[in-house]
Amino acid sequence: MKLTEKLWQALDERYDLKPLLDFAKEKAVPRHRHDWMYYFGGLTLFFFCVQVATGILLLLYYRPTA
């Protein structure tokens, strides 16, 4: 058994992800999914994650001078 299969099996046993995966597979995606306005949500999430990551790095490494 591959590592990814073992990992999926462990996560599925612990969190019961199979119903969620089945729901996601059957969900219909609207035709306008490639409209440029729909990219802003993903871009907002990406830039928020970048800000969180850089904030944590600044918290760990920044040393202010007197």
Per the structure, the count of domains in the chain is: 1
Residue 31: pLDDT above 80? no
Residue 54: pLDDT above 80? yes
Give the residue from 30, 12, 10 showing the smallest Cα distance to 22. Answer: 12
In a domain, residue 66? The reply is no
Can you tell me the mean pLDDT for 27-45? Answer: 81
Per-residue confidence band for 32, with pLDDT thresholds at 50, 70 and 90: confident
Question: What is the chain's mean pLDDT, rounded?
Answer: 89
In a domain, residue 24? The reply is yes
Using the Cα atoms of residue 25, residue 29, residue 35 and residue 41 in order, give the sign of their dihedral: negative
H or E segment and range at residue 4: helix 3-15
- What domain range includes position 8? 3-61
Residue 33, pLDDT score: 64
